[in-house]
Every structure is written in structure tokens, then in C-alpha cells.
Amino acid sequence: MNQYLDGKGTVALIEFQPGSMTNDQRKKGFTTGLKDYPGLELVADQADGSDANKALTVANNILTAHPDLDGIFGSNEPSVIGASQAVKQRGLSGKITLVGWDAAPDEVKSLGTGEISALIVQNPFRMGFDSVVAMVQHIRNGVEVKSEDTGIYAVTTDNMNEEKYQAILDPSCSNPPLPDDDPWLQYVQ
């Protein structure tokens, strides 16, 4: 958000399910990050119950209460979709920075048109792949993997067509989102 707003402005957070670990971690990351940029002020924080229609209502309520809002962070797919619809309906696309989480087809499409500035994207292919590898290693060798960070990526309108990000946005065995030096790459090609 800071990158797009040059360190100043008012922002809103649309979270999905307060109390859920994923929601709370994303909220904490966003609000903790804001502390590094004192010129960015969080003026609204509302939840949508992980419902795009409710997110649309929430975003419209926020935009009504804060007509000079500079940015919105949507913490999951429905939050981003609803906020994007509200911004578009009000003719504010390109005027309000919208950063969101996930990479559903509608989000990626809106990223491509510039309605969404950036998406924070996980690597579900890698999550599934590493889970299978961990299971096989455990069965064969008794190796226990307690946690595996498969990474997150900031995908923007400017970089979304790069091969690295296309592999994450549209993974396949012919274009897997694995590092070139990954020893397991041989098994998916």
C-alpha cells in the first residue's frame, strides 16, 4: 500500500472473519506494516463474513464515510471482489488503490485492467506438492516436517505477465511454480 500511496493517505481494511487464524494473521501483518509508515492512517476496519456481496456493502459504507479514502486492503478474495465492485461502481477505479489477497480469476482479471493495484498471492500448487513430498518422506524415512513456508508473492499489474508469476497465477505441470533448482522439479515435468 505504501508503495502506491507514497507514504501518506487514508486507508481501510476489509477483513473477512475476525477470530479465524488466517484473518487475524493477515490483519496483524497489515496493521503492523502500517506502523512503519506514520503518514498512512487506518480510518476503517470492517468485516464482511467472507461474502463478496457483504464486502460490496461494507466498501460502499466505508467510501461514504470517508469520501477522500486513498486505499483499501481486502484480506481475502470476497473482500477484494466486493471492494473492487464498489470502487468501480463509484467511478473511482484508478483513483483508489486496492490491494488484496488471493488470486481468483476475477481478481486476476481486475488486476490486469488496473482496477486492482496488487495482489498478495500464495502458491497453492507448491502447498499441495510439498505436502505430498513431506508425506512420502515421512512414510519412507520417518522424516517429520513441522512447517514449510511456500512463500507469498506481490503480483502487480506491471509484473503479472512475467513467467515466474504466471506459473503461480496459472500453474500446470508444464509450467510449475517451483524454483529452477528444486530437486523435485524432475517429477512434475
Q: What is the pLDDT, as a whole number, of residue 184?
A: 54
| pLDDT digits 0-9 by tens, 49-80 | 999 999 999 999 999 999 999 999 999 999 99
Question: Could you tell me the pLDDT band of residue 180, with boundaries at 50, 70 and 90?
Answer: low
Tally of structural domains, the chain: 2
**What's the CATH code of the domain at 48?**
3.40.50.2300
Of 122, 154, 169, which residue sits at a domain end? Answer: 122
Buried b (16+ CB within 10 A) or exposed e, 62-99: bbeeeeebbbbbbbbbbbbbbbbbbbeeeebbeebbbb
Host domain of residue 150: 124-187
Q: Are residues 115 and 137 in the same domain?
A: no
Q: Are residues 47 and 131 in the same domain?
A: no
